[in-house]
Structure 1
Amino acid sequence: MRALARESLKPQSLRHDALWMMGGQGGAALLQAAYFVLIGRALGSAQYGAFVGVVALVSVGSQFSGLGMEMLLLREVSREPRQFAVSWGRALEVTVAGAAVLLLLAVTLGHLIFARALWPLLPYVALADGLFGRLLQVASRALQATRQMRWAAVLPAGMSAARAAVAAVFFRLVETGRVAATAGGWVAMYWTASAAAALLALVLLTWKLGWPRLGRVRGGDLSEGLSFAVSSSSISAYNDLDKTLLVSAGQMPAAGIYGAAYRVVDAATMPIYSLFTAATPRFFRAGGRGGSEAGGRAEAVCEIEALMRRLLGRALPATVLVSVLLFLVAPVLPVALGASFAGAVEALRWLCLLPVLRLLHYTWGTAVTASTSQWRRTAAQAAAAGLNLGLCAWLIPVWSWRGAAWASLATDAALAAMSYAIWRHWAGRRRQLSVVSPQSSVPSCQ
């Protein structure tokens, strides 16, 4: 295992894995772009806004359907591959049970905050994202943990391909008048694409790595996984709930143009996410090297800092360029999506700084996850979600989507600052303990 950890920290190994993930995410991005354009043109800004508002609500809850088991699987199998069957079985059991609870909660909450016309969308989206989407993510994490990055990258692209294919069929049916151009008509087809992609992912995982081992899920696993679930839900809350609030306020066209601009930002951020997806197992291995010895603690800090320097040094200049390009290409949106999305030009220009802010909090937040308690990162993300919700509740009634944009920028900046502060505190504490301990010599970071 030590040899595998040392090999995985080499620059060429990280580069190889990152290239696979970026290639897969790049293919997924192209397919998502096609899907996005087809659905935008078929639905128009108001119906598209209704769809993204419902998806945003379900997205926050869907993070709890797996209770973070996919991240426990990634961490445990990255460190000890023989844990795969048990970790996969646990993830499957929890995800299926959690999806049933999510379906009930999503329908209940949706009836409270959405207009009656949107209620039929809720069960379809809950199944698509809360069950099938989470199962595909479990499969991808398992392949990632065993360093089969080629297949880990293929699975998300497969989901995007399935949705793009169904979107093309829907667009054609709308054009020929066979299906109404409504969000309800779209979600009735949307969930089938997710189901097909998830089924193929589970078959592939079984073929590559073997069958799961089902058994009793321990309370300790649920408690630890909950920290990852709260973290993911907080991320979804500060990224998505602004669309839900816009829709619940009856501002569906505003939700549509803001959601379209946000989708472009998400696509532009995908290479950053791919880089950190590839690097996360290395962060976990580096964070697990310290043990309780003084020298080991300092060595873990040094290895994590080396990874962060490498990632930021390569990604920051490119991310700044991406933000500039987003500002410049914004006028293309109404050309691609239709005249009802004209307001998305201004929205994208407001949001173009988000990739840089995300790079910063991804870097420091991943270091925190790998080195100290996940609950510390979760606390920062929950605080960011609370800040975003408060700002949106204050700003959206007055400024509509512009208020949501201000809230998003402030939230990501605050999260970056909190993540950096947590990391510096932990690293400083580890070094201090290493210096005062007489147990071993303390290496210096190069």
Structure 2
Amino acid sequence: MLVWMFLRAAAQASIVVLLARQLGSQAYGQFVAVIAVASIFTPFVGLGLSNMVLRNAARDPAHEAIYFAHAVRWWWRSWLPCLTVAAVAAITLLPNGLPFAAVCAVIGAELLTASLVDLRARHQQAQQNTHIYGAINAGLPAIRLLAFGAFFVTTEKTDAAGILWIYAASSLIYAFFMWPMASSQACSSDALGSEPMTVSNGLPFSLAAFAMKLQGEFNKPLLARSGFGLAGTYNVAQRAVDMASLPLLALQESLWPRLYAQRNPLPQLRRTGLVLLMLALALSCVLWLAAPLLPWLVGPSYESAVAVLRMLVWLPLLQVFRALLNFYAIHHGHMLLIGWAYAIGAAVSVAGVMALVPALGMVGAVLASYAAEAAMITYLFVMTRRQVQ
């Protein structure tokens, strides 16, 4: 499982480095702005039912095909409305000058493939086929990386339009390979299992993922309106933090099941939480010191990414603290607080980006990210203490 996770991360990091170096900050900024708009709406394709497939198929394996078939049916129904909304958002948010046909192709392919991969992977995860689950998730960035590599080997073009078409085509090819596995099991979708499988069950998962996407991606189209180079530069710095944080995230994912299994996990939470915070602080310090190496890795047009990276390096520390508060809230049965925290974080992030980015550019995007994390942490800290007491 961990091997597949790191292969996926390696493929994603390689894509960032390859595209950033080959395209330069301007064309790369065009690419990431389009992908950002598409990814914001991806959680609504399937209406969050992939998460219900994971839960229900694990609880009721005898009817796993029924749950999966029901999710596939809603996945088909929701794709076109989401594509329409995402296309309108792209027209509204993105500046002029982008190839419209390529933009629509990328949005459609991203919504279709990313949601299908998630649905197919969750189905395998519910059946405890961890290697297939990991392979499905790692396969999509891998085939995109191969497609981009072949494109740059066979042509000298370095424009965003070509990359957008390659991204769309490689995504659809992967969906083509995923679809037979989905369609072969998408039968008897009108039958019922023993577990609830309604849209209202899945939508909270969609809303939570949507809130996180807004917090992480809404800044890209707004930065692009001030200059595509700003969007490209900011994305490089942001992805550097994300990739460096993966080992920390893996440690957290291995910790939570052990804590949930304990009758009184709070003493252990304090001890291991302190260790995680110290590791996050160490990671932030290493990133701050290593930031000047970023232009050497992705190209000289990203010199300004060094300052942005150094401003973003303290985010993992806040994110770990928020994750510890999340566990504390879940342990005491206050899951609703986490949903509200995500909603507050998304609202603060969007408001901050809209207010600060036009005036401050990338600095405004950084400030909005910290404001969102601070708002979520404050809300969780105050509300959990109030409700537990």
Q: Which amino acid aligns with 2:27?
A: Q
Cα distance in 2 for residues equivalent to 1:216 and 1:205: 17
Aligned to 2:4: 24
Aligned to 1:228: 205
Aligned to 1:86: 66
Aligned to 1:382: 343
1:42 aligns with 2:22: yes
Aligned to 1:13: none
1:256 aligns with 2:232: yes
**Residue in structure 2 matching 1:265, options 218, 241, 252:** 241
Q: Residue 147 of structure 1: SS of its match in structure 2?
A: coil
Bigger shift: residues 184-193 or 307-316 = 307-316
Aligned to 1:245: 222
Residue 419 (structure 1) shift: 3.5
Aligned to 1:141: 122
1:214 aligns with 2:214: no
Q: Equivalent residues in 2 for 1:345-356 (5 A)?
A: 345-356=306-317
Aligned to 1:186: 163
**Residue in structure 2 matching 1:124, options 105, 113, 116:** 105
Cα distance in 1 for residues equivalent to 2:102 and 2:322: 33
Distance 1:311 1:137, change over 3 A: farther
Q: Residue 198 of structure 2: SS of its match in structure 1?
A: helix
Aligned to 2:303: 342
Residue 99 (structure 1) shift: 1.6
Residue 128 (structure 1) shift: 2.8
1:155 aligns with 2:136: yes
Q: Which amino acid aligns with 1:215?
A: D
Q: Residue 330 of structure 1: SS of its match in structure 2?
A: helix
Residue 363 (structure 1) shift: 4.1
The count of residues paired between Structure 1 and Structure 2 equals 386
Q: Is the 1:228–1:378 contact (alpha carbons within 8 Å) kept by the matching residues of 2?
A: no
Q: CA-to-partner distance for each residue in 1:165-193, whole Å, 9 max, x for gaps?
A: 111122224xx43xx32222111010222
Cα distance in 1 for residues equivalent to 2:198 and 2:351: 32
Q: CA-to-partner distance for each residue in 1:279-318, whole Å, 9 max, x for gaps?
A: 77889xx6xxxxxxxxxxxxx9946658856864664443
Distance 1:31 1:312, change over 3 A: same
Distance 1:123 1:370, change over 3 A: farther
Distance 1:162 1:312, change over 3 A: farther
Cα distance in 2 for residues equivalent to 1:71 and 1:260: 30
Residue 76 (structure 1) shift: 2.3
Aligned to 1:196: 173
Aligned to 1:434: none
Q: Is the 2:284–2:314 contact (alpha carbons within 8 Å) kept by the matching residues of 1?
A: yes
Cα distance in 1 for residues equivalent to 2:268 and 2:44: 30
Residue 410 (structure 1) shift: 2.0
Q: Which amino acid aligns with 1:170?
A: F
Distance 1:62 1:307, change over 3 A: farther
1:109 aligns with 2:89: yes
Q: Is the 2:281–2:317 contact (alpha carbons within 8 Å) kept by the matching residues of 1?
A: yes
Cα distance in 1 for residues equivalent to 2:219 and 2:298: 21
Q: CA-to-partner distance for each residue in 1:1-40, whole Å, 9 max, x for gaps?
A: xxxxxxxxxxxxxxxxxxx2x3222111211222111111
Q: Is the 1:31–1:164 contact (alpha carbons within 8 Å) kept by the matching residues of 2?
A: yes
Cα distance in 2 for residues equivalent to 1:424 and 1:87: 38
Q: Which amino acid aligns with 1:344?
A: A
**Percent identity between the two aligned chains:** 26
Residue 369 (structure 1) shift: 6.2
Distance 1:167 1:372, change over 3 A: farther
Q: CA-to-partner distance for each residue in 1:301-345, whole Å, 9 max, x for gaps?
A: 946658856864664443333222221221222112211111111
Distance 1:270 1:139, change over 3 A: farther
Residue 396 (structure 1) shift: 1.1
Q: Is the 2:72–2:186 contact (alpha carbons within 8 Å) kept by the matching residues of 1?
A: no
Residue 48 (structure 1) shift: 1.0
Residue 73 (structure 1) shift: 1.7
Aligned to 2:54: 74
Q: What CA RMSD, in Å, does the superposition of the two structures yield over aligned residues?
A: 3.1
TM-score normalised over the length of structure 1:
0.77
Cα distance in 1 for residues equivalent to 2:363 and 2:190: 49
Residue 402 (structure 1) shift: 0.7
1:172 aligns with 2:153: yes
Distance 1:100 1:205, change over 3 A: closer
Distance 1:314 1:132, change over 3 A: farther
